[in-house]
Amino acid sequence: NARTFGSNRKMPNLDITAEEAKGVVAFLKWMSSIDTNGFPYNFKTINAED
C-alpha cells in the first residue's frame, strides 16, 4: 500500500541530456526486441579448470 510509505521519495536525477535519454530508450527497445529463446543453441557448460 503506497500510503504506508513516506511521500517525500523522489526519482534520482541522472543528469543526462535529452539525446542521451533517447539513446538509452533506443538501446532498451533494441534489447527487448531480441528473441533469446533457445539462445545460444550450442551452449555447453565449461569446467572451472578449463
Among positive and negative, which fits the CA dihedral 13, 18, 24, 29? positive
Q: Residue 16 contacts by C-beta under 8 Å, 6 or more apart in sequence? A: 24
Cα separation of 26 and 13, whole Å? 20
Mean pLDDT of all residues belonging to the chain: 83
Cα separation of 29 and 40, whole Å? 21
What is the pLDDT confidence band of residue 19, given thresholds at 50, 70 and 90? very high
Task: Report the pLDDT value the prediction gives residue 11, as an integer from 0 to 100.
Answer: 82
Is residue 50 pLDDT above 90, yes or no? no
Is residue 26 pLDDT above 70, yes or no? yes
Task: Report the pLDDT value the prediction gives residue 39, as an integer from 0 to 100.
Answer: 75
Q: How many CB atoms lie within 10 A of CB 6?
A: 5
Task: Report the pLDDT value the prediction gives residue 1, as an integer from 0 to 100.
Answer: 54
Question: Residue type for 31, please?
Answer: M
